[in-house]
Structure 1
Amino acid sequence: MTSSPVRKIERITIHGVSTKQQLRQHDNYKSLPLHPPQCQPHSYQSQFTPQPNTSTNQTQTMSPKSILVLSATGNQGRGVVQHCLSAGHSVSAYVRNPASSAAVQLAEQGATLITGDLDDLESLRTATQNVDAVFFTEVQTGNRELDLKRMENVILAAQESSTISHIILSTALKTGQHESFPGWEGGAHPMKEYWLQKHALENRVREAAAAKNGGRWTIIRPGHFLQNLLPSVRDFMFPGFKEERVLRVAYRAGTELPLVDARDVGIVVAAAVKEPERFANKAIDVAVEVVTVEQLAGKIGKVVGEEVKVEFLDDEVVDGMIKEGHLGAASSRWADEVPGGDGVSNCREDLGALAEGLTSVDAFLKENGKEILA
């Protein structure tokens, strides 16, 4: 079996950088996790608790479905576990440390914990038996070669599984549209590797599903994660917010960001497992609302009862950082130039009534207001 030449690039979502008056923070900004256009922070403990599946009618009228969730203790993974449990699916959560608080929480909610890591192909082969579907996200530890191997391990195990018929992957909005991005044709786009990696990974999943008899794929492309406003990720992305209540960003004023609660990826996954034909061989954009950084600051301020300001890094400073190879600055410039509003309209069109269940920006802020200030 051969795989596409997938290449690894780290990512985050909303970038906190110092203003021109605070360039002493410039070196610290260079070391931040790198984004576009989302991230997968693992420190946020979801407050969402699934309702126990007490309905007998549901299990009597349709066969129960089962899913293996990889990276189950991440924000997306936890949301997938929780929503799938609420939908009545049987969930196996693949975790490295079953004694961690996040893993214990999943077990208490009804998930079956499977201990293993993505380096262990044999463990993955075992885990992918006796389940109908598998969900995973791009691996991003910072070690490109190992991460490529880990992703291939997941795909290979899913392809070889005698029971899995549905491979579900989460990537990012705009994946596959890279040739339309401003500056792409010149061949020196600062985010070239990032987008080619995502595109290759999606294609690899399509290939794996096509190689299976009756195999299906579903690709979910979420926008910027609202969890990036929460500690400790927030402290990397918005240096000084805790002390000064200022969002320092490399975006230009007025740039619109398509936002989504990472947990809501689980809404789509649960529906895809329940109705595989509806979501078979489709890519689904997931974003609930488009807001500017200025509007986001206003929303935060209204919820927490304090003024939240925005400070924008000057263009020449951002340009300099891009020339130095800083992907975080490059991703902010990319967001300036590539509107994401169609992610929201596409989401509503593709999901229909399901889109009404997505967490609004205001609802997320109200739920997490105290944590945002912590």
Structure 2
Amino acid sequence: MAAKTALVMRPTGVQGRGAAKHLIRKGWRVHALVTNASSDRAVGLESLGHNVTLFQGTWKDAASIEAAVKGCQALLLVQLPSFSDDSEVQEARVVLNIAKAAGVQHVVFPTTLPLNNPNIWEQEKDSPVAPAVLNKGDVEKIVRASGLTWTLLRPGYFLTNLLPPVVYWMYPEFKDRKFVNSYGPDCVLTLVDPDDIGAFVVAAFEDPKKFGGQTISVVGENVRVDKILVELERVSGQTIKAVYRTPEETEKARSSPFVAGQITSIGLAKWVDLEGVKSWGVPLTTFAQFLEKHKDEFAM
């Protein structure tokens, strides 16, 4: 039987690359749509195997989407967050219309966990991260109405945010071994290894009857911030000073999307049913397992 083919949008990011890797392991062909086919990260995708074909383009160039989606039965719609406009919504409409016309049967859309909070629309309306969160809610509606079999994945806090170099621009003081944040020590973060998102993508494409029409939280483990820092110290061999902003300091800094994102994460764990996540039968990575897998990268 001929291998199935999936179009993976933004395959050079942690979600897209993880999905491409899992798809290839399951015998799928991957059409990888990249903005620059000669970039190191794009060329690096070819190391995943001969079943990866690179296509260059963006959603603003319909012909590039049409070329990339030709022959595909499935679509992974990965989007970059926009903090200033509704480009995610525009992109979703364009890509889904082209995909449907090309014969795609199933779309998986990794969205965002804060949408589990039924109060998010009111809570986030004045936040700098509002477009990045609420636009994904609008895209979810577009995906549901697309006429395709759909699966929505709502992943938690990416553990790769704690790896260099990302950790240095999300938490700039981390270069000086200070974890300055607005979480508070007892805030519980909903941790996920982005590689596990890829595992869910493949599971959904492989079993559309089970995963079709489902909205699934993807969280491996809930861990307190102070416990996270203890483990980061252990694996890195470095002392890391926790600096928790006061409410007044947080209010002054909330114009930063990173600080606003931290505020959004507070209390989010109560909207996650970990046993429900496990019930899908997709193996999940614990925090300890992630640290072991990436221990060389934590040697700061």
> Normalized against structure 2, the TM-score is what?
0.90
Name structure 1 gaps, 5 residues minimum: 1-58
1:298–1:102: structure 2 CA closer, same or farther, 3 Å change rule?
A: same
Q: Which residue of 2 aligns with 1:65?
A: 4
Q: Distance in 1 between matches of 2:117 and 2:163?
A: 30
Q: Which residue of 2 aligns with 1:370?
A: 296
Offset of residue 332 of structure 1: 2.2
Q: Which protein shows a greater Rg?
A: 1
Alignment pair present for 1:234 and 2:167: yes
1:68–1:373: structure 2 CA closer, same or farther, 3 Å change rule?
A: same
Aligned residue pairs, count: 297
Q: Which residue of 2 aligns with 1:306?
A: 238
Q: Distance in 1 between matches of 2:141 and 2:92?
A: 13
1:188–1:152: structure 2 CA closer, same or farther, 3 Å change rule?
A: closer
Offset of residue 369 of structure 1: 2.5
Q: Which amino acid aligns with 1:259?
A: L
SS in 2 for 1:83: helix
Q: 1:241, 1:247 within 8 Å by CA — same for their partners in 2? A: yes
Q: Distance in 1 between matches of 2:234 and 2:158?
A: 20
Q: 1:166-181 alignment to 2 at 5 Å?
A: 166-175=106-115, 177-179=117-119, 181=120
1:100–1:172: structure 2 CA closer, same or farther, 3 Å change rule?
A: same
% identity of equivalent residues: 28
Q: 1:89-104 alignment to 2 at 5 Å?
A: 89-104=28-43
Aligned counterpart in structure 2 of residue 284 of structure 1, from 195, 213, 216: 216
Aligned counterpart in structure 2 of residue 128 of structure 1, from 69, 86, 90: 69
Alignment pair present for 1:112 and 2:64: no
Offset of residue 150 of structure 1: 2.8
1:197–1:178: structure 2 CA closer, same or farther, 3 Å change rule?
A: farther
Q: 1:261, 1:364 within 8 Å by CA — same for their partners in 2? A: yes
Offset of residue 113 of structure 1: 1.2
Q: 1:52-91 alignment to 2 at 5 Å?
A: 64-91=3-30
SS in 2 for 1:310: strand
Give the superposed CA RMSD: 2.3
Aligned counterpart in structure 2 of residue 318 of structure 1, from 250, 259, 266: 250
1:135–1:281: structure 2 CA closer, same or farther, 3 Å change rule?
A: same
Q: Which residue of 2 aligns with 1:334?
A: 264
SS in 2 for 1:105: helix
> Normalized against structure 1, the TM-score is what?
0.73
Q: Which amino acid aligns with 1:79?
A: G
Name structure 2 gaps, 5 residues minimum: none
Aligned counterpart in structure 2 of residue 268 of structure 1, from 196, 200, 203: 200
CA-to-aligned-CA distance 1:118-166 (integer Å, 9 cap, x gap)? 21112112222211100012233656254543333222212222x2000
Q: 1:207-226 alignment to 2 at 5 Å?
A: 207-208=145-146, 210=147, 215-226=148-159
Q: Which residue of 1 aligns with 2:99?
A: 158
Offset of residue 88 of structure 1: 1.0
1:71–1:188: structure 2 CA closer, same or farther, 3 Å change rule?
A: closer
CA-to-aligned-CA distance 1:44-73 (integer Å, 9 cap, x gap)? xxxxxxxxxxxxxxx6xxx63211101011
Q: Which amino acid aligns with 1:328?
A: F
